[in-house]
Structure 1
Amino acid sequence: MTRPEILDDDLRSESLNARQAVRVRRRRRPNGKPASIETVHYLTNLPPATAGPDDLARLIRGHCGIEGRLHLVRDVAFNEDHHRARTGNAPQNLAVLRNTAITPHRQNGATGIQPALRAGNRKPERLLNLLPETT
């Protein structure tokens, strides 16, 4: 990822409370495919004096880490992007349930969530071992 480019500071809106707009151009070269450039825009309420380009780059990388660590897992394990629940609170509620299914496996050392979920489906009694003991 290249260093973020700070855009015009006049993009503020009362509803967004945006202080800075950032454009990031990413160069990708997926396996066996031609290189491509993706442009992504971010808005932040952090003032320029507090968060310069290097700070924003660090925050964006952290966001991408979350995307890869959780959202990608949910999409691969549960095909979340193709789910048809799109109205009301259903998407958020289903995301909470999916996270609830993933978290105990991660806390017990599972690195591959799909195999862990399949193992729990084959022998549901294994799932009881994932739950914390209560007194």
Structure 2
Amino acid sequence: MCRQSATVCLIKSPALESVAGLSLVERLRMLPDPRRRRGVRHPFVAVLLVAASAVIAGARSYAAIGQWSANAPQHALARLGARVTGTLGVRVAPSPATIRRVIALVCPGGLADLTGASPGGADSVAVDGKAARGSRHGQTPAAHLLAAMTGDGRTITQLRVPDKTNEITCFAALLKPYDLSGVTVTADALHTQRDHVCFLVEDKHAHFLLVVKANQPGLHRRL
């Protein structure tokens, strides 16, 4: 199952060692194209790179991503691997509809595992969750994501918290694939749980720094 949703993963998450040192393009090429082969016009990786470039440039919606794509100069589209058409070799940007469709189909778990940073060498890792902005649609609640970041701001990974549950049930699954030996893991009071501490100390050989509030009344009184 996908680490980010209730769908079946299209990719078996690679060993972290196999992607270390690879460029973003090389990592994205490891993702399978989820589209049907018939009618495909734009390279899969190029669509993802165009979307990522637009977001880096400040786009915060599909409409803004599509506008950036439509206005991108030829040299930028060439660097991103956009489709070539005609005898003059003109680069054609993917349409907003194509970008939206590809992003909706791509396996989020595989993408997160391929593009995340390694916690190796980090002094600390912070775990925190929040609702994804703009993900609410009609009666469907916003997606709630739990993420892990290094102390210097590099995202390691994230997963989607399933509906009808909370971050507590996802804490161990988020960190399980990573070597956290000697790393200090920080989190808010929600994760001040006995099982979390045992997991960090006994399974991951990590240190921990957790906030104590009234959700742990006995421990709170003793402190």
Give the alignment's TM-score, normalised by structure 2. Answer: 0.17
Give the TM-score taking structure 1 as reference length: 0.25
